[in-house]
Amino acid sequence: MKVDLELIQKLAELGPRKSFGFGLMEAARERDNVVCIGADLSGTCKTEEFRERYPDRFVNVGIAEQNMVGIGTGVAVCGKIAYCASFASFLSMRACEQIRTDAAYMNANVKLIAHDAGCTVGTQGYTHYAIEDLAITRAIPNMTVVSPSDGLSIAKMTIAIADYPGPVYMRLTGTRTPVVYETDYELKIGKANLLRDGTDVTIIATGSCVYNALQAGNELSKEGISVRVLDMQTINPLDEDAVKRASEETRLILTVEEHGLIGGLGSAVSDVIAGLGQSTRVVKLGLPNVFGPIADHVDQMERYELDIKGIVANVKKNYK
């Protein structure tokens, strides 16, 4: 995929769903074994172009996420790369057994595309929240879990997972994709990306929270607080070396994620710190373990201090 400023801007304007659709077409263009399995959400998941361009490589199973994952596993063990796309809440919970026992147990090349994770579609009520999905999927053996942050990284990750062996859960959050990566970059699954360096505080963010973390770091630097910002684009396997360096070189680690405070990025980072025997303080920002209110995405991010202002305030409160 040729990356230039025009493409970066285009992907930023497309948003998470269409950025995935763009990446899927790029992945399929050079790989004739890429197939797509849908659960009657082609319009929402932006797989219509794939369906029209490659009708013999597309299957719509209807509103049946369990069947989607089972069929995806079946074609994957026959040599295909199966992309299965649906809402994160339905994919991670309704099809959890099939993800575990079919895709993961078989270590099959099933790429699970989890749209609208976190509280992205909070206006549709808690049934459509997905604040437990990282806790679920990162606990499943053989499962790689990724969480790209902007339009470019979503498109690149969609392509990269085609060549990454085994099952992958790709989590998409947010309703918009402001630019995090202003130029092309090398994407490595399992490695965090250093967006800005610092010596006082490390903010480790993922998905929709990365842009806000980066902007917060820029604001805090104006007040004399040196902030390192890491885009933790892979939740499992976690980049433990990056976490270790942060614990050794900065005094506070703040994790920021559009996920529940139990079992997500913050828990994964805390596990690493505990194993190191370090005294580095870890503060977790995320969604509380409650059945949240009906509200739009912007309101939710502000409510739970996941916006720029909230991240800045939490660094100031916890940095001594």
What is the SS3 assignment for 279-294?
Answer: CCEEEEEEECCCCCCC
Q: Give the model confidence (pLDDT) of 47-67 as tens digits.
A: 888 999 999 999 998 998 999
Of these ranges, 58-67, 170-179, 232-241, 279-288, the one predicted with the greatest mean pLDDT is 232-241
Q: Give the model confidence (pLDDT) of 168-190 as tens digits.
A: 999 999 988 999 999 999 999 99
List residues bridging with 34 in a β-sheet: 81
Please check whether the two domains, 5-173 and 193-318, share a CATH topology. yes
Annotate 96-128 with b (16+ C-beta within 10 A) or e (fewer): bebbbebbbebebbbbbbbbbbbbbbbeeeeeb
Q: What is d(CA 245, CA 165) in angstroms, rounded to the nearest whole number?
A: 28
The reply to whether 65 belongs to the active site is: yes
Percent of the chain with pLDDT over 90: 83
How does residue 45 score in pLDDT terms, banded at 50, 70 and 90? confident
Average of per-residue pLDDT across 32-36? 95
Nearest Cα residue to 137 out of 164, 165, 114, 162: 114
Q: In the numeric block, which tokens belong to residue 183?
A: 């130029």
**Topology annotation, domain 5-173:** Rossmann fold (3.40.50)
Q: What is d(CA 104, CA 108) in angstroms, rounded to the nearest whole number?
A: 6
Nearest Cα residue to 168 out of 258, 263, 72, 257: 72
List residues bridging with 38 in a β-sheet: 60, 85
Q: Give the model confidence (pLDDT) of 61-87 as tens digits.
A: 899 899 999 999 999 999 999 999 999
pLDDT number for residue 225? 96
CATH number for the domain running over 193-318 = 3.40.50.920
Give me the catalytic one of 65, 132, 257, 258. 65
Query: Residue 6: CB partners within 8 Å, gap ≥ 6?
Result: none
- pTM recorded for the entire structure: 0.96
Q: Supply the angle between the helices 5-14 and 16-29 in degrees, to the nearest 10.
A: 130
Domain boundaries, the chain: 5-173, 193-318
Q: State the DSSP H helix or E strand holding residue 166, giving kind and residue range, or none if neither.
A: none
Nearest Cα residue to 109 out of 85, 140, 75, 141: 75
